[in-house]
Amino acid sequence: MKHSDSNNQIEAFKSAINKSKKIVGFTGAGISTESGIPDYRSKGGIWDKFQPVYFEEFISDEGKRTLYWQRKQELWKDLSIALPNKGHLFFKELYDKGILAGLITQNIDGLHEKSGLPKDIIVNLHGTNLEVRCLDCGFTVPSEDVFDGLDLEQGNPLCPECKGLFKPDTISFGQQLRGEDLDRANDLAISCDLMVVVGSTLVVQPASSIPSIAKANGAILAIITLSETPIDNHADFIFHLKMDAFINLIQS
Give catalytic residues, as residue numbers: 126
CA distance 179 to 160: 27
- For residue 159, state whether it binds Zn ion (rule: CB under 5 A): yes
Q: Which stretch binds Zn ion (CB under 5 A): 5-13, 39-47, 163-171, 214-222?
A: 163-171
* Cα–Cα nearest to 225, from 252, 205, 189, 195: 195
* Residue of 86, 139, 177, 234 interacting with Zn ion (CB under 5 A): 139
* Residue number with CB closer to Zn ion (72 or 167): 167
The answer, yes or no, to whether the previous bond of 230 is cis (omega within 30 of 0) is no
* Residue of 162, 203, 216, 245 interacting with Zn ion (CB under 5 A): 162
- For residue 134, state whether it binds Zn ion (rule: CB under 5 A): yes
In the shown chain, the binding pattern of residues 213 to 232 toward Zn ion, with x for contact by CB under 5 A and - for none, equals --------------------
* Residue number with CB closer to Zn ion (117 or 134): 134
* Residue of 86, 164, 190, 213 interacting with Zn ion (CB under 5 A): 164
168 pairs with which residues across the strands? 132
Report helix angle 86-96 to 243-251, nearest 10: 50
Residue 163: CA count within 13 A, CB half-sphere: 0
CA distance 140 to 31: 27
- For residue 161, state whether it binds Zn ion (rule: CB under 5 A): yes
Residue 33 has phi, psi (to 5 degrees) of -65, -35
- For residue 158, state whether it binds Zn ion (rule: CB under 5 A): no
* Residue number with CB closer to Zn ion (165 or 241): 165
Q: 3-state class of 124 per DSSP?
A: strand
Size of the site for Zn ion (CB under 5 A): 8
* Cα–Cα nearest to 101, from 177, 20, 31: 20
Residues in contact with Zn ion by the rule CB under 5 A? 134, 136-137, 139, 159, 161-162, 164
